[in-house]
Structure 1
Amino acid sequence: MRLSILDQAPISVGMTPQGALQASIELAQLGDRLGYTRFWMAEHHDLSGLACPSPDVMLGIIGSKTTNIRIGSGAVLVPHYRPFKIAETYNLLATLYPGRVDLGIGRAPGGSAEATIALSNNFLDNVRKIPETIDELLKFLYNDFSKDNIYSKIKPTPVPQSSPKPWLLGTSKKSAMLAAEKGMAYAFGHFMSSQDGPEIVRKYYNDFSRGYDLSKPEVVVAISVICADTSEEAEALALSSQLWSVKRGKGEDIGIPSVEEAISYAYTADERLLIERSKQKMVIGNPQAVKSQLKELKKLYNADELMIVTITHRSEAKLKSYELIAKEMLAK
């Protein structure tokens, strides 16, 4: 089974943003040693508890501190940027780290309405133009403009020997259909979708058309996972991220709270219901239980790969979670 890592650079209570970003680097290095396939960083803008607005900056550092693991964005939020600039940036990374760079793209705003306006005051119009934007981006990556197109005169230099691999990220049937139409690999966010994920992925498989460098469909499913020595410990660790979600939903600007705070917090009935619903999307347990659930999800989605996102208060607990999973599922 291929397993990968999606990191959101979470900031815990008592941790600085610098500490959170350093923890991301350490996680990538651990993933590299343990045999995870890829390490993606997410893009967020002025969101409480998350430290990374620019995955490409972090990937430049992470690539220099790792050896084998693929590195990529999960995702570049393309409505904020022009395709040529995206292609330049990821061609540069692919030149530095040949054969290791993924270019995941998405269409979410990644932040509040105010942050979105500050980044791109015509965001909604840019979202509507996503299919054309993807076409333009792919043509830049694969040097495929017709001779009469003005862009045929320029290249997003440096041009690497091996282009960054494009992925489309999404949580809906619309994104699956677009990935299939464009012949792109597809990453489905199981951990953040309330829709019928397996049916959405089936739609992608059924509608796939050959792309520039992809002859058959390829699917990664991103899943929220917390693993510990015992299921009871894993359940307690999971409370931190669950309380964080509750407090963010109330507009509180906080980092990831401690397990002790999460256990003692006075939850309302509605908040407890929200937590129970969120747990249904998570995989929580000891290594054997996590392995069983992940294998079941992989089969359910017919996925080529699972991508794990883990949020805990203590970095040590997060690293151990990935270590336990690797020992159970990636050990040779």
Structure 2
Amino acid sequence: MAPLLALPTELRLHIYDLLLAEHRHVRLKQQPSNAHFRLLHTCRQLSEEAGRTYRRYISLLHEHQIHAFLHFAEPELASQIEWADVANDGRVFQPANKDQEDSETDTPLSNLHIALGRMTSLRHLRVFQCRQGLPINLQNTMNMHRSRRLALGFERAMFPKNAAQLSSYELYISPETRVDLFDGVRPDAIVTLRFSGEILAAAETREAARMRMPRLRHVVLHGVTGNYFDRHTIDQCFPDAHLESFVYALGHRLGFEIRNHHLQSLAAVYGNSLRKLVLLGSSRLSSTTITQALECLPALEYFALHLVTVDELRSNFVNVLPPSLTIFKLQVLNAWYAVPLKSEERALCHSIEELVLLRDVPFHQKTVG
């Protein structure tokens, strides 16, 4: 520890930030732990220097940690938390009689909502799959709510009363988990949004006309199931947004498949502001639509495409890559039942060699498969 303390203070602070960023990095949808707090118990100096940053982040993996947080965390410390990773149980008690729904609110089974309510400075929330969802006193809890029924309410289990105002809202859950979107989170303040799971937009049935996302800049769709995105264009899903990055990955064999009209609406509405576009596992996009979309993206800097060809590869979209592009990744695969399009793929490779590899200002990264 002595060599670390011998470094200049500014360098040590930078190291603390790098360590925390690495610790918070999500790998294979696994929720990070609270191991970053161990550094604060090393010595008084490190506790004072790193504590200002490290105490702004917490991870609650199960009910035991939630209980410990509620019991030991001082209100002053809880109010400093700006970034939280949580495992959401998703179950709530609802009135057994529908006539009572207007007078009684949903009561979450877990105490997660109490913990989140104490984080008054919370702005970044990542939600993970709950793997230890049974509360410690489940039987006593059921006895207290005999007149109510147990139901699923993904966001109401976290925010049953007041809608949360977050700048970053990310879901790392299984494709089978049902999400009533924006049922407890306000969409108008979100800047970064990541979707996974079975998306059911609560706003679609209740307040669709008032749902606006004027601050939204970054969207990730990974392993999304359900038919919400199948029935809407991209601009309809994110009204009033000004997207700078859009990342799509199929992520599941029954997941939402991005189609031509989705990419067309994305390019038409957000073309002037979009700087990053990632399309992974795309088998429903035509080469013509990809070409037309790239022609509408003059500010694009990052483009990654994993394309599964079925019966066509007529349009050479490499020829219309914008000059602003600095990172380009491409993998073209044939569907198992399709005839290989060898001549078309050779034309792509030839264009990549001439326009990318031999370009005066080379791209930062090139991958051809």
**More strand as a share of residues:** 2
Q: Please report the TM-score for the alignment, with normalisation by the length of structure 1.
A: 0.31
With a CA cutoff of 8 Å and minimum separation of 6, indicate the structure with the bigger relative contact order: 1
Larger Rg over CA atoms: 2
**More helix as a share of residues:** 1
